[in-house]
Every structure is written in C-alpha cells, then in structure tokens.
Structure 1
Amino acid sequence: MLLRIDMRPARWFSVGSAHGLDADAGTRAVGEALARDDPKLLIVFCSQSHDLPTLLAAIRRSAPDVPLIGCTTAGEIATTGPSEASVVVTALGGDGFAVDTCVATEASRDLRGAGAHVSRCMPVRADLPYKVLVVLSDGLAGDQQEIVRGAYSVLGASVPLVGGCAGDDLRMARTHQLYGDQVLTDAVVAAGIASDAPFGIGVRHGWRRVGEPMLVTSSAGNRVHTLDDQPALDVYLKHLGAEEPAVRDQEWLARLALTHPLGLGHPSGEDQVRFISGGDFEARSLSCIAEIPQGALAWIMEGDAASVLDATDAACGDSLAALGGRRPLGMIAFDCIARRGVLGDDGIRTEIDRIAAVTPGAPIAGFYTYGEIARTHGLRGFHNQTLVVLSVG
C-alpha cells in the first residue's frame, strides 16, 4: 500500500517584481511570485505607464484561473525596495486561505453602495476564522470614506478592512483598477480573505500641526470652498508663503500639497490627515481625497524624515503585535505618496529596509497611494498621508 503524504504548506505568501515597461514584465513578475502550487489570489501593483491590457494579458496567460485584483500606483514597493515603472505581483496560496473577489464599477455614482457591494465577497469557513477585506479603489472618484461606511454597513465591526487608493504617477487625471482580465477605471475591487492564522494591521502617519488653526467655513463633501471665510486656495497658499506659477495645473498643486496636507482635529487626540489632490483655480477652492466637514478646525501639517520613519516603525510594530508572536508570512504596505515626498529617494529605500528588518526573510509588497484604508474597529477607516501595513500571519 502506497501512503501519500501531502507536504504542501497550509499557507504561503510570495512576491515577484519586474522593472521596465516591456511586454514581458508581467510574465517575469508573476513567474517569480508563483513559486508554489495552489495559488488562491494574485494582487498586482503596477505603473500607469504600462500598456495595461498587454501587461494584464501576460499575467493571465501564466495564471488564467487565479482570482486577481490590482491597481495602478504612484510607485511600487517590493522586497528589493521601492521602484517606478515596474510591476509587483503578490501571490497567496495553500489550503489555509480561502478567497472571494468582487468589483463595483461606476463607483463615483454611489461610493457607499460600491463599498457595500464589494464587502459581500467574504468567504464563510468555520475552519478559517481569521478574516480581512483588501480594498483597492479609484482615489479620484470622490469621498473615499463613503466606501468604508458602505463596507461597515455589511460587515460591521467584525472584519477589518485594509487597502489603498490607486495612483497615476501624480498626474491626478485617471487611475486604473484591475479585476480578473479587466482593466477598469472609476471602480472598487476587493478580495475577501479567510485564513487559519491571524492578520495584523498597523496605521501611523508622522505628521504634526503647524501654525494656527483655520475654521472650515464652507465645504461640501471633499471640496473646501472657504477657510476663515476666505477662498480656501488663497488661504492655503498664504499659509505656505507660496506663489502661483504662470502656468497652473492640478499636478503643480498636488506636488506642492504633498508635504503640506490638511489636518483635522479628532476626539481621539490623533489628527486625521487629508491629502489635497487639486483645486479649482477659478473658484479658488481645494479638493481632497476625503470629506472635510464644514465647521471643523483644520491645520497645515508638516513632517520630516525622522517623524515619518518613526511612524513606519510604529506601524510595523502595531501590525506584528496583532499576530500574537507568530512570524509573518509576508507584509503588504500601503504608503501615501506624500510620505515619499518627505523622505526622498534615499529615505524611501531606508523605509523599506526598516520594514524588512522587522520581518527578516518575509517578502514585502505594496505601492504608493492616493489614500489608505485601515479599519480595525469602529466606523472610521479612511486615511491620508499615512502608512498602513498588513501582516499576513
């Protein structure tokens, strides 16, 4: 009698990456990620500069039946460090994971409904009690907090949310989401993951208030019309001592705002940070990735390399603590593009090295975002200019 023993690991996590915009980049990245059998999910982060249909088709030829979600970025993160014009593929597999995926298109018409819709993809398995919903959205589609509210209406407080907003290399024009073999825009994609081991989430930003508070005297959703009863754009530029160039565009304003977000006071004592994604140069208003409530107090925020890297260490520590001493299989980092603006090229490499140092040997994936999702309790769960770390136990 032949006795067969299944030596496959119950769970595995692997990352592949490839630099360059050539047609073979997707094949190289997914080939490196698919190091073992029985993949349950692929997560793809890639530059907007790729020929996206060609890239995705190459990945699908190597893994035609594996559920896939992904998005474009403002820079990619892999175990080897940060990069641009690359593709990063994360693969999760083994019998210790179960995965369902979902997509909501035309999300800007009803972001709360989109969040509720994609949250229904959570697997129900009594033998896999640990769960997380990974959400990737179009950060230019409106108030992203509405996605979190929609997800909460379905999942309640029992399932943590984690993810980020797609980027377009700071063009602030259009981002893309990937689902199966589809390249989409104005969409929310999600993967519900159930596991027989815990997940850990850490969230920190490293920004501090500068100067006197400003009262949000007129706003609607994610658009701020006036601060202290003056046009919001004028007040913001005056606080920074910045002059408008002769040629103004959304990319100029977004780059200026990278290192000077708005901060909103919160009863918890930790300010909420809001990324300024652009403005209306005629109406003199500001637009943000998430809601700025009328009547709120707002501050200009700033940070430096030391404060941002301290937040990196704290986020990693919080994420690992939730694993209860278990060594992670891997980590996914959702890192705001604004933090990259503070750290610079050398600093972002230092940041990824510090993440790797706390999990020796564990692969790392991630991307630079236009906003971050992390809800471990309560309703609040959308963040800006923050690092969110997901540890997979």
Structure 2
Amino acid sequence: MRHEQTEGVVTAVSHAREAEQVAQELARQLLHPHLGFVLFFCSAEYDLEALGPALQAYFGGLSVVGCTTAGEITSEGYSQGCVSAIGFDHRSFSIASALIDEMDRFNLIDAQQLVERLVRDCRGNALAPITDHSFALTLLDGLSSREEVVLAALSAALGSIPHFGGSAGDDNHLTRTHVYYDGQFHSGAAVVVLVNTWLDFEVFTSHHIEPRAEKLVVTRADSESRRVLELNAAPAAEEYARLIGVPLAELDMRTFAAHPLAVRIKEQYYIRSIQQVNADGSLTFYCAVENGIVLTAMTPGPLLPNLQRQFQRLRGRLGAPLLTIGCDCVLRRLELSGGSEMPAVSEFLREQRVIGFNTYGEQFNGMHINQTFTGVAIGRPDPSQD
C-alpha cells in the first residue's frame, strides 16, 4: 500500500482483497482538502457487486469513475489483482463525466448532446478555456464489439478536443468487462470523461511494432462479431499459423502478441490484434475487420527503447511529468511477462509517474487500435507563473 501526492494529483493503490477494506484504503490515501474527482482501475477478480457501493459510500458525493482491467499500472509500476487510483485537485482540474449505458444505440445526436453537457459542466469551474485546454478520456466495455461506432460519433462531437482511452479488461477471461459510474459497475456501457486544466498536456500513442513483407487478405469475415473465417481463401487460423510457422494447436495470446497483424492507412500501420481462435477455425479480433482488407504481418521491435524515446520527447515539451494516464495493451504485457525486460519496463513506468491499466484495446482521437501504449502526459505547474 503506497500513495503519492504532488501539485494537483494524489495517487493510491490497494492490494486488499475485501471490498470494504479496498474502499477504506483508497479513501484514506486520496484524502485531500481539494479532492474533486477520482479515477480508478481495478482487477476483475474483485466482488464488483460489493466494491461498487463501498466506493460510493467512502467517497460520499465525489464523482468516481473507473473500469476493470487485464492488469494494473500503479505508483509501484506493473501490478496484478489490485486497484490503482488517481485523485484530482479541483483547483487544477475541472472534470465532468457521463455514462453511455447502451453502446448499441449510441449515435451522433447522442454524442453531441453528451459532449455539450460535459463542456457545460466543465465550464462551471471556470479554470481555463475549453479549446486547447481540455482532453477526453473514454473507458469502453472491451467485449462490446461496438467501440468503433461509439468512437466515431464521439470524435465528431468532440471536434478539436483530443481524446484517448482504453477498453476495459477482465484479467484475460474474455467473458465480461465493466465500467464504473455512479456507484455501480456496468456492462455493455462506456464512460466519457472531459478534463479541463490550465496545466500543459499532450495526448499521444506509441507502438514498437515493425512491418514484415508478408500480407494476408481477409477473404471471408463476419464484421459484426469481428470474426475472420478465411485469410487468403484458406481457413483463417490455419493460414495465420502457416504464415508465422507455429503449429495450429499452439496458437494462444502469447503467440498473437509476438506475431501481430496490421492495417496500413497511408504511411501508418494500425495493429489489428487477434483475441482468440474459435472451434470452427476462425479468428476473433479485438478491432473491426472486414472483407477485403489487407493485413500486413508485423514483428515487435524492442519495447523499452520505444517507450524511452516517447517519454524523452514528452519531457522535452512538457518537462518532468506530473502524471501520465496510460492505456497499455494487454498483449504488450503478455509479450513482456516472464522476460528479462519486464522489471525494467515496470520501473520505467514508475519513474514516469504512469497510472493506468492493461487494456483490451486503446482509443486515440476516434480510432480503435491495439498493441499500443496510449495516454496523456500532464506537465507540472510552471513555478514562474505562481
């Protein structure tokens, strides 16, 4: 159990197992006279029916939002089976949030009304102009298969406001993921958070995946369920296994992490990660897939140097970070697990003050992507402006 406090934010972590104790520990660590908003990320192993009301009881009238994870990033680095949380000082952050309780029915008009409400709520604190001083965070049900539709509507409504986010996980069970809003955990839902601040920040995305020469064409797909039945006119799982030189029976999440596929849009590659092999030999993906798209075989490069370059660039612009909220794909963590790089990456995330979670997909300015580290870096207050 450890918490840290700096100008504008307080962080907390609880490894307790009982819901009441978790809520009590987080409330004690986040205790602050100017606490205005709480964001948390929790293991899906908790009794969510008990944890939801406990958090509401211990944080009183405060707004608290969060989601379940496939692993947590805490003030101690990578962790598992715990709750990681951030408390925001209302003198530095004006934050509004809303629930999308039916992702299946969400459309552009809903998005416009939701964003207007969030902007109006943020303006109530009169911290800074909305334009150039705000970013949005989305936490989506990671098994809804509706991320692209929701993100397209939100992106249009947000306009120039940058946004990022992560899809909730369930510790790799792939059965049920949850977001938390107004004292309850919800499935088939999303939470949208608008953050207005006078502090400098940058929304970013980064990946360490490099293209190979081989291509696969999706020749038969069920886009509604994100299942690919055929690649290059052959059974999908068989063709993928042949391409990467792995026996069909050995395909698993670690294999998918080590041998990703991507769609090329202009000069950029966007990962389309495989979620699982199905009994009929089809492949289910975390992101949208359609007939006719061309998938490029990719290979992971060194992960830590890529992160170091990204944060060096962020530091050059923002200075030492006050906080980074990070959405780190679960497949990146699986790639690291058991390897020699894991402790070094965990320590680096701790040094960069990253709080966040391992996701079932990331969101960046309206796009649903995979196998990335996506987030927002927030700079410290400038002492010369005091």
1:96 aligns with 2:92: yes
Shift of 1:142: 0.7
In structure 1, what is the Cα distance between the partners aligned to 2:170 and 2:349? Answer: 25
Give a deviation string over 1:52-75, Cα, whole Å, max 9, x none. Answer: 132233322221111111111011
Among 57, 78, 81, the residue aligned to 2:77: 81
In structure 2, what is the Cα distance between the partners aligned to 1:28 and 1:170? Answer: 26
Shift of 1:117: 6.2
Q: How does 1:177-326 map to 2 (within 5 A)?
A: 177-221=179-223, 222-245=226-249, 253-267=252-266, 269-282=267-280, 284-304=281-301, 307-321=302-316, 324-326=317-319
In structure 2, what is the Cα distance between the partners aligned to 1:168 and 1:113? Answer: 31
Change (3 A) 1:118 1:386: farther
Where do 5+ consecutive residues of structure 1 fail to align?
A: 1-8
Give a deviation string over 1:117-174, Cα, whole Å, max 9, x none. Answer: 6544234536413101111001111142322211122111x10111101001111111
For residue 64 of structure 1, give the secondary structure of its aligned residue in structure 2: coil
1:352 aligns with 2:352: no
What RMSD, in angstroms, separates the aligned Cα atoms of the two structures? 2.5
Partner of 1:141 in structure 2?
Answer: 144
Change (3 A) 1:20 1:115: farther
Partner of 1:329 in structure 2?
Answer: 322
User: Is the Cα contact below 8 Å between 1:96 and 1:128 reproduced in 2?
Assistant: no
What is the TM-score with the length of structure 2 in the denominator?
A: 0.86
User: Is the Cα contact below 8 Å between 2:238 and 2:248 reproduced in 1?
Assistant: no
Where do 5+ consecutive residues of structure 2 fail to align?
A: 380-386
Partner of 1:5 in structure 2?
Answer: none
Change (3 A) 1:80 1:163: same
User: Is the Cα contact below 8 Å between 1:260 and 1:300 reproduced in 2?
Assistant: yes
Partner of 1:4 in structure 2?
Answer: none
1:132 aligns with 2:125: no
Query: How many equivalent residue pairs?
Result: 364
In structure 2, what is the Cα distance between the partners aligned to 1:330 and 1:94? Answer: 15
Shift of 1:309: 1.3
Change (3 A) 1:54 1:310: same
1:341 aligns with 2:346: no
In structure 2, what is the Cα distance between the partners aligned to 1:17 and 1:117? Answer: 35
Give a deviation string over 1:350-384, Cα, whole Å, max 9, x none. Answer: 21322343x4xxx4311111111122xxxx53220
Aligned partner letter, 1:343: L
1:374 aligns with 2:364: yes
For residue 217 of structure 1, give the secondary structure of its aligned residue in structure 2: strand
In structure 2, what is the Cα distance between the partners aligned to 1:199 and 1:228? Answer: 44
Give a deviation string over 1:10-58, Cα, whole Å, max 9, x none. Answer: 9611110011422312321332123x22222111101100011322333
Shift of 1:92: 0.8
In structure 2, what is the Cα distance between the partners aligned to 1:114 and 1:384? Answer: 26
User: Is the Cα contact below 8 Å between 2:70 and 2:169 reproduced in 1?
Assistant: yes
Give a deviation string over 1:265-322, Cα, whole Å, max 9, x none. Answer: 120x22110121124322x322212222432221232215xx211221233234445x
Shift of 1:114: 7.1
Change (3 A) 1:291 1:179: same
Change (3 A) 1:259 1:298: same
Give a deviation string over 1:308-340, Cα, whole Å, max 9, x none. Answer: 11221233234445xx44543211111111111
User: Is the Cα contact below 8 Å between 1:11 and 1:94 reproduced in 2?
Assistant: no
Aligned partner letter, 2:292: G
User: Is the Cα contact below 8 Å between 2:95 and 2:122 reproduced in 1?
Assistant: no
Shift of 1:244: 4.2
In structure 1, what is the Cα distance between the partners aligned to 2:33 and 2:67? Answer: 24
Aligned partner letter, 2:306: A
Percent of aligned pairs sharing the same letter: 24
